[in-house]
Amino acid sequence: MKYTIIIDSSAQLPESFIKDRPITVLPFAVSLNGETFSDRISETSLVQIYNSGEITVDAKIDSSPITSEGLIQFMIEEIIPNYDTAICQTVAMAHSAAYENYTNSINSILIKSRELRHELKLPRPFRMTYMSTGNTSTGQGLVAAYGDAMISGGYEYNKYKLQIEKFKRVAKTYTTIKDMVYGRHKSKQRGVNSVSYPTAVIMNKTGVVPIVCNNDDKMWVIALQPKFEKAVNRIFAYAIDRIRDGLYFKTIIVSIADDLGELDNFSEYAKLKHAAEQEGVRILVNVMTLTIASNYGPGSFSLGIAPKNTKVEP
């Protein structure tokens, strides 16, 4: 069975990992100050964008998933001729219409797949499944990496979806942002009431930042920290403890909307790498995609993990 796992550009995974694995990115469209482009931007170019100062609270920036019509065309051109099975994973339904677009287009895709594969004389019928990961950012990327490990390890396709549904309940994303005024502005655009503008201004002046958790289609603030650096180190320290307690999947994903070298400035990062090496845990690191960073702002940080101890938070 030749398969691909299709993710959207909300999922955080390193370029090198995506290139080496049967993973296909269905990019969101990003609009930045009047220019619209596909979010398949190299990590080098992303760093340049984040350091350019172009993304501010006054910037006109937005992201949106591919339409149902675009999805059908993408499957016809890129997936159906090249793969027997497509396993599609979307960002949490609360954050995007990506899942809804699959629902609206799947019947047309399957009908066209029969016609196209008959025309191409491909013997196997095309199979496709889709699901919401209930997550976003690094947690969403973690679900994709877990799914790939299952399938490549010989896990039966017919049991795959049930196992992913179980795993996504324990996959967690922890995020913190540098600019609360920017974060408040983007939340308000999405119809989410977070903090008032005066409060956001005060938080920026004092350096106070939130740690936000996303898990199983829910998002909530779990703590406030006096500085961004302390928030990131607190998340790293949490991950170190969870590594020692045990993980459901021995992989952690770290993402930052900045140069990856900035991670070395956080004192707990080296300790995390040491703990991971001791316990045989893989750390995947990437520059945050514009789809996510457009909502959180430059410099934002995210970590995805599936801890066995789910009662403790950073």
pTM, two decimal places: 0.94
Q: Is 124 exposed, middle or buried (0-12, 13-18, 19+ CB in 10 A)?
A: exposed
Q: Which of 221, 286, 223 is nearest to 260 (CA)?
A: 286
Q: Which of 266, 247, 260 is nearest to 305 (CA)?
A: 247
CA dihedral sign of residues 33, 34, 40, 44: negative
Interhelix angle 157-167/137-152, rounded to 10 degrees, is 150
Q: What is the pLDDT of residue 183?
A: 80
Q: What is the pLDDT of residue 158?
A: 77
Q: What is the pLDDT of residue 273?
A: 98
Q: What is the pLDDT of residue 33?
A: 86
| Joined tokens for residue 5 | 């796992």
Instruction: Return d(Cα 131, Cα 164) in angstroms, integer.
Output: 9
Q: 71 pLDDT band (50/70/90 cuts)?
A: very high
Which residues have a Cβ under 8 Å from the Cβ of 179 and sit 6 or more positions away?
57, 204, 297, 298, 299
Q: Is the pLDDT of residue 270 over 80?
A: yes
Contact between residue 57 and residue 179 where contact means Cβ atoms under 8 Å apart: yes
Domains, the chain, with CATH or none: 3-26+66-167 (3.40.50.10440), 172-305 (3.30.1180.10)
Q: Is the pLDDT of residue 196 over 80?
A: no
Instruction: Return d(Cα 17, Cα 76) in angstroms, integer.
Output: 25
Interhelix angle 180-189/197-206, rounded to 10 degrees, is 150
Phi, then psi, of 64 in degrees rounded to 5 = -150, 145
Q: What is the pLDDT of residue 193?
A: 65
| Joined tokens for residue 105 | 């287009």
Q: Is the pLDDT of residue 142 over 80?
A: yes
DSSP 42-84: -HHHHHHHHHTT--STTS-EEEEPPPHHHHHHHIIIIITTT-S
Q: Is the pLDDT of residue 191 over 70?
A: no
Mean pLDDT of all residues belonging to the chain: 92
221-257 tens-digit pLDDT? 999 999 999 999 999 999 999 999 999 999 999 999 9
Check residues 187 and 278 and name the one with the higher pLDDT. 278
91-139 tens-digit pLDDT? 988 778 899 999 999 999 999 999 999 999 999 999 999 999 999 999 9
Contact between residue 253 and residue 142 where contact means Cβ atoms under 8 Å apart: yes
Q: 190 pLDDT band (50/70/90 cuts)?
A: low
Maximum distance among all Cα pairs of the chain, rounded to whole angstroms: 65
